[in-house]
């Protein structure tokens, strides 16, 4: 499942995000959502979240 809809993303789920510095390479970082940062219902590049550990990125995949 892609991470473009805010309704699909909840605190505590495991996701893969792309960090700002990794956007060109497309490198994904896996983690657990701590906080949802995007206020709008959808975003074409993925909903921005903060993972546990403080990593911020846009959700590309939802794992569970």
d(CA 50, CA 12): 11
pLDDT value for 5? 96
pLDDT tens column, 3-42: 999 999 999 999 999 999 999 999 999 999 999 999 999 9
pLDDT value for 1? 83
pLDDT value for 25? 97
pLDDT value for 34? 98
CA distances (Å), 51 to each of 6, 55, in order? 15, 5
Question: End-to-end distance of the chain based on CA atoms, in angstroms?
Answer: 9
pLDDT above 90 (res 58) = yes
Q: Do residues 50 and 35 make contact, with C-beta atoms less than 8 angstroms apart?
A: yes
Q: Which CATH architecture has domain 6-62?
A: Roll (2.30)
CA distances (Å), 12 to each of 15, 31, 62, in order? 9, 9, 11
pLDDT above 90 (res 64) = no
């Amino acid at each position: 499942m892609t991470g473009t809809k805010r309704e699909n993303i909840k605190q505590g789920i495991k996701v893969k995000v792309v960090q700002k510095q990794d956007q060109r390479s497309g490198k994904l970082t896996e983690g657990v959502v701590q906080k949802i940062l995007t206020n709008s219902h959808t975003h074409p590049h993925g909903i921005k979240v903060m993972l546990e550990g403080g990593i911020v990125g846009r959700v590309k995949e939802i794992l569970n």
